[in-house]
Amino acid sequence: MEKIVIVGAGVAGINAATKLVDNNYQGKITIIDMGKDPYNRKPEEVMTGFLGAGGWSDGKLTYHTSIGGQLSKYCGEEKAMDLMNQVITNFKRFHPNPEEVQCSDPQEEPDFIKPYFGLRLFPVYHVGTDYLSEIAKNWYNFLVENGVEFVWENKVTNIDFKENYLSHTEVNGNGDWTQKYDLLIFGVGKSGIDFGKKLAEKYDLKTEPKAVQIGVRFEAPQKHFQKLIDISYDFKLYRKFEDKGVSLRSFCTNNNAAYVAAEHTYGDYSYNGHAKKDEAYRNDMTNFGILMEIQGIDKPFDWSREAVKKLQVNGKGMFFSPSHRVPSKTSEGDYVKVEVVPSMDILYYALGDYAFYIEDFIEDMKEVFPTLGEDWGIYIPEVKYLSPEPLVNYDNLSLTKYDNVHFVGDALSARGITVSGAQAIYVVESLL
């Protein structure tokens, strides 16, 4: 039987291993991750460890092919929906109280948001950050009991695609190791984006271009948005300016016990959000990204990095509120790390005229949600670094140059939990 090594114990890696175990795969399965197992992983370790960035996320499981990255491009609509359903089923399966997973499923666009915005209509299952750690422990125990080997706190530093082996280093600096593999599943997520890029350059992998995705994380008291939240928990307001190659959408909405989280990528700060289920954490706040997708920018990855760099002050991102709201606290009780700035001008400095679209989005929200007024703040920036997507065979997501190396999750083209997990299950189905 072939030895499968999975790099990254994130959403994709864990769903891949689960599919292998469920199908009684007899070969050795090893997962290497630079983070920790779910018993030892701390809340501030946002990006690494069991379930990866999904482990301390908000656990919103979207069930539609129009968001969360590209899936139907590889396998078609019907198969994509089946694969995403398998991921959702896995989250419920290891949930201590699966009946508490709520589903929001808006059926039509409410009149009051028109003509300013459209609303994307699709189901979203909401798990909540606090339950995720319980799910992670149950899931981890299942995989260990079924013979999956985990190598924690080890960073993979090199992969030899030609000789089929990889090198990894203990993060505490105690040792360097190598592993041979027959099949490799590469699921390093956002935290491994630099590594993926390095490999793509080293092996001269062909890539598909990506659009820029950048914006801000908007935060306000929930009461202003309640009318829409009642219709759709994770509401996706959107608008398009096709002639300009720009579209905007609200992204990853958190409510009830909603917290803003700082992300660190390439040493820079950007922002995201999550929500807890436990009533003890209720703060009656709402936060969501206002993300702008810009087509046609030359070298979009470099452009995004440059823009994010311009949006750092004193080694942090920024916060602006027209009514002098103060930045919120994290769910751990510390203030979110930001520098308060007096205006939105800095956005124009970093994004040029594109900043106008974000300001305009906020202005129109004030029309649609009349009580909002100036009662809000924005954390700057929020960014989705979409590294150039390596060219893969669409039937099994293997590299066109190395057919025993499969790219999955955010390291490929995903931007969310269900799509990341679904891509990994798709790969395993092709192997089986």
Ligand X SMILES: Cc1cc2nc3c(=O)[nH]c(=O)nc-3n(C[C@H](O)[C@H](O)[C@H](O)COP(=O)(O)OP(=O)(O)OC[C@H]3O[C@@H](n4cnc5c(N)ncnc54)[C@H](O)[C@@H]3O)c2cc1C
12 binds ligand X per the rule CB under 6 A:
yes
Residue of the chain from 38, 59, 215, 390 that contacts ligand X (CB under 6 A): 59
> Is 383 a residue that touches ligand X (CB under 6 A)?
no
| Shorter beta-carbon distance to ligand X: residue 130 or 355 | 130
- Out of 101, 184, 252, 422, the only residue in the binding site for ligand X (CB under 6 A) is 252
Q: Is 417 in the site for ligand X (CB under 6 A)?
A: yes
- Chosen residue from 188, 258, 347, 422 binding ligand X by CB under 6 A: 188
Measured between alpha carbons, how far is 321 from 377 in angstroms, rounded to an integer?
4
Stretch that binds ligand X, among 175-183, 184-192, 199-207, 362-370 (CB under 6 A): 184-192
User: Looking at beta carbons only, is 300 or 416 nearer to ligand X?
Assistant: 416
Cα–Cα dist 397/427, whole Å: 6
At 326, give phi and psi (nearest 5°): -95, 155
Q: Quick check: 420 binds ligand X (CB under 6 A)? A: yes
Number of C-beta neighbours around residue 403 at 10 A: 12
Q: Does 205 bind ligand X (CB under 6 A)?
A: no
Distance CA 149, CA 45 (A): 22
The CA-atom distances, in angstroms, between 161 and each of 206, 214, 219, 392, 395 are: 15, 33, 45, 14, 20
Contact between 57 and ligand X (CB under 6 A)? yes
Q: Give every CB contact of residue 156 below 8 A, 6+ residues apart in sequence.
A: 7, 32, 34, 166, 167, 168, 188, 195
Among 6, 18, 20, 33, binds ligand X (CB under 6 A): 33
CB-side neighbour CA atoms (13 Å) of 320: 15
The residue count for binding ligand X (CB under 6 A) is 46
Nearest approach, Cβ of residue 51 and ligand X (Å): 6
Q: Is 161 in the site for ligand X (CB under 6 A)?
A: no
Do the Cβ atoms of 426 and 397 come closer than 8 Å? Answer: yes
Q: Which of residues 128, 187, 289, 317 is near ligand X by CB under 6 A?
A: 187
Please compute, for residue 168, the number of CA atoms within 13 A of its CA located in the half-sphere on the CB side.
22
Smallest distance from the beta carbon of 175 to ligand X, in angstroms?
15
* DSSP-derived pairing of the beta strands 338-340 and 317-320: parallel
Q: Which of 16, 84, 212, 261 binds ligand X (CB under 6 A)?
A: 261
In the block, tokens 């600096």 appear at 173
- Asked whether position 268 contacts ligand X by CB under 6 A, the answer is no
DSSP of 75-86, one letter per residue? Answer: H-HHHHHHHHHH
Window 105 to 134, contacts with ligand X (CB under 6 A): none
- Closer to ligand X by CB, 26 or 157: give it: 157
Between 10 and 317, name the residue whose CB sits nearer to ligand X.
10
Write out the H or E segment, with its range, that includes residue 323. none
By CB under 6 A, tell whether 236 contacts ligand X: no
- Residues within the interface to ligand X (CB under 6 A): 7-13, 32-35, 46-49, 52-54, 57-60, 62, 68, 155-156, 187-192, 195, 252, 261, 263, 272, 274, 409-411, 414-417, 420
